Each structure stands twice: as C-alpha cells, then as structure tokens.
Amino acid sequence: MTKKELIGARIKSLRNSKNITQEQLSERTGINPKYLSSIERGKENPTLNTLIRLSETLDVDLWEVFEFVQEESPVMRKNLLISLINEANDEQLKLAVKIFRAIMH
C-alpha cells in the first residue's frame, strides 16, 4: 500500500472506531464528502490543515493518524498482499503460490 492509502485507511479506521459515517465526518469538518471519500481510498493527498481538522474532529492526536505501521487491519493486510501480487514478476508469483499453499495446508 502507498502512504496515501495507509493514511486513508487509518482515517477510515479511526472514523469507524468512533461510529461516525463519512457524511457525518464531512459535515463536522466542513470537508467535501467526495474529497473525504477520496482521502479514505488513498486517492488524494490531504493537506496538513485537513489532517488537523480530521484528527480534532475524531478526537485523536495528529500523530495517531500516522500510526498505521503497528496496527494493520485484516483489510489492510489483504490490500498489501494484492499490491505485492500486482508488482510481482512470474517467478515471484510462482514462489509466492508455493509458500502460500504450504502455509494454508
């Protein structure tokens, strides 16, 4: 996952942990709903001011928005695997399949 995707996934995770919808977060922060959706999907680079508004509204310290390395959700791990698969060459894919099969059996 790219850093934008990690930040977006973290914002979404924080929002969900507070039981806040995208629409509610958009209203509370004054951030356009489409822009917020793009941020959460890792399609946009949020500005520092946007990150500050999001963290304040979510009642977390700004650094917590960047605390994604230690806390990977199952969805984030699956997305990481998909990204790695998409970047792999054929030999790497063959090896990955063998390893994955060995782990699963």
- At residue 14, the pLDDT reads 93
- At residue 84, the pLDDT reads 86
- At residue 75, the pLDDT reads 80
Let me know if domain 3-65 sits in CATH 1.10.260.40: yes
- At residue 70, the pLDDT reads 53
* pTM, entire model: 0.65
**Residue 71 tokens, joined:** 């806390």
- At residue 77, the pLDDT reads 79
Low-confidence stretches of the chain (pLDDT beneath 70): 68-72
Residues 6 or more apart whose CB falls under 8 angstroms from that of 102 comprise none
- At residue 76, the pLDDT reads 75
- At residue 73, the pLDDT reads 74
